[in-house]
Amino acid sequence: MTDLRPPPVSLLDRHYGDEFLPLYTATVRVDGGESRHGRASGVARSDDGLLEVQLRMPEQLGGPGGGTNPEQLFAAAFAACFHGALSLLARRANLAIPDAQVAASVTFGRDPVDGLFMLSASVRVRLPGVDRAVAGELLRNTERICPYAKMARAGIDCVITLEP
């Protein structure tokens, strides 16, 4: 039997400091695979070996399908993170949400500003049995603390370097 349990509500305690406080770092490497193109035929592998997925272009983008893609991975991460933040806030408020569901959709498309590419995202939440006003407040608070929602709204610090 595994020891699966939600994280402690203490994760919601505020950090008071002048600098970013790292808590966990995930590293995933992607190679180009057969076509030498990470999005079309790459393999994404986490440094701990727990994630290994075949990347394929979806049929809608002219690919063969048959594997996952960056948009699906991002949508899964966004939905999981939002659900986790939602659950923590609900638990802190002594609100039971056992049947909560979060669906995230990530759309890859053309950017009207530069004509190249951009992403858009939408998150839909189901909270059966929760009063609509209470659910609305819970969603607003979750949107304030979920790192993916914050990133989608305000951007993210990003440094790109060339390794030796």
Q: Quick check: is 163 in a domain?
A: no
Tokens of 138: 């819970």
pLDDT tens sequence across 129-156: 999 999 999 999 999 999 999 999 999 9
Look up tokens 């979750």; give the residue: 142
DSSP 8-state code for residue 11: G
State percent of the chain over pLDDT 90. 98
Q: Classify residue 82: in a domain, yes or no.
A: yes
Domain boundary residue among 50, 68, 86? Answer: 68
Q: Are residues 78 and 150 in the same domain?
A: yes
Residue 11 shares a structural domain with residue 56 = yes
Enclosing domain of residue 143: 69-155
- Secondary structure (H, E, C), 72-139: HHHHHHHHHHHHHHHHHHHHHCCCCCCCCEEEEEEEEEECCCCCCEEEEEEEEEECCCCCHHHHHHHH
End-of-domain residue from the set 53, 68, 83? 68
Query: In this model, does residue 91 exceed pLDDT 90?
Result: yes
Same domain, 63 and 84: no
Residue 41 main-chain phi, psi, to 5 deg? -150, 20
Q: Is residue 162 part of a domain?
A: no
Q: Please indicate, yes or no, whether residues 4 and 44 belong to a single structural domain of this protein.
A: yes
Total domains in the fold of the chain = 2
pLDDT of residue 1: 67
Reported as a single tens digit per residue, the pLDDT across 33-61 is 999 999 999 999 999 999 999 999 999 99
Span 13-36, average pLDDT:
96
φ/ψ of 158, rounded to 5, equals: -145, 125
Taking residues 11-27, report their average pLDDT. 95
Q: Is the same domain home to 78 and 115?
A: yes
In this structure, what CATH number is given to the domain that contains residue 84? 3.30.300.20
Residue 6 falls within a domain, yes or no?
yes
